[in-house]
Amino acid sequence: MMVAVMQRHLRLHRQEDFHRLRATGRVWRHPFFILSVTSNNLPHNRYGFVTSKQLGSAVTRNRIRRRLREVMSRAHPFLLSGYDLALIARVPVAGQSYQAITVAVHGLLKQAGLWETER
């Protein structure tokens, strides 16, 4: 199985970026995730993932983050560019399959109008 790796320059790390997303971003909700999106004036998207301790142990949180990075790195070529996106994991996502997470994330991206249908 080929694993897609998300490049580091495509990740959100700085606390200021997450604060800006929280203050100015639009929000879409799903039982598994909250998606926050705002423009970033860059030629590419940047992605951030938030997993709180409510989700479970460090092993569980890291597994969720790895799956989210995988889903977003595979979806990245099909998304409109120039946005910062943050996916905030909610408690029901713990224990979900990779396929369920993929369907949920793709649904949120389509709701937000970020999925390019031409490709």
Give the predicted TM-score (pTM) of the model: 0.88
Residue 1 lies in a domain: no
Quick check: is 93 in a domain?
A: yes
b/e 29-68 (16+ beta carbons within 10 angstroms → b): ebebbebbbbebeeeebbbbbbbeeebeeeebbebbbebb
Q: Indicate whether 18 belongs to any domain.
A: no
| pLDDT tens, residue by residue, 42-95 | 899 999 999 999 999 999 999 999 999 999 999 999 999 999 999 999 999 998
Residue 44, domain member (yes or no) = yes
**Average per-residue pLDDT for the chain:** 90
When divided into structural domains, the chain yields a total of 1
For residue 102, being part of any structural domain is answered with yes
Within a domain: 101: yes
Q: How confident is the model at residue 36 (pLDDT cuts 50, 70, 90)?
A: very high
- Domain containing 78: what range? 24-111
CATH code of the domain covering residue 61: 3.30.230.10
